Amino acid sequence: EAGVVQSPRYKIIEKKQPVAFWCNPISGHNTLYWYRQNLGQGPELLIRYENEEAVDDSQLPKDRFSAERLKGVDSTLKIQPAELGDSAVYLCASSPGIAGMSTDTQYFGPGTRLTVL
């Protein structure tokens, strides 16, 4: 079974430029998560989708970040414009069930390491 796929794996951009990350979750997984992991820190949730609906985006900086999950499968996370402080690893995860299934295991992709110069 293929795991969570993310691309690109690495991205270097200059500040004020836009950037987008792509995630393909495990087949059949209804819930998809985007986390941001700053250097030396644990991941922090940015947004959670159940199918195509964003059900928790309270931690997403909406002035510059946007996300979508068309058809409830793949997802993209966009930053426009990027700032120096956005340098981090962006992790995508998926889990089989729907919210309330707190026992679901989240499966993580390898992440995209973003460097903003």
Partner 1 sequence: AQSVTQPDIHITVSEGASLELRCNYSYGATPYLFWYVQSPGQGLQLLLKYFSGDTLVQGIKGFEAEFKRSQSSFNLRKPSVHWSDAAEYFCAVADLYGGATNKLIFGTGTLLAVQP
Binding site for partner 1 (CB under 8 A): 3-4, 9, 31, 40-45, 48, 55-56, 58, 91, 93, 95, 99-111
The distance of closest approach from Cβ of residue 10 to partner 1 in the complex, given in angstroms and rounded to an integer, is: 10
For residue 61, give the nearest of 81, 76, 43, 42 by alpha carbon. 81
What are 92's two structure tokens? 């995508």
Q: Which is nearer to partner 1, 81 or 97 (CB)?
A: 97
The distance of closest approach from Cβ of residue 35 to partner 1 in the complex, given in angstroms and rounded to an integer, is: 8
Q: Are 99 and 106 in contact (CB under 8 A)?
A: no
Q: Which is nearer to partner 1, 20 or 45 (CB)?
A: 45
Q: Are 73 and 25 in contact (CB under 8 A)?
A: yes
Cα 19–chain centre separation = 13
Q: Which is nearer to partner 1, 22 or 108 (CB)?
A: 108
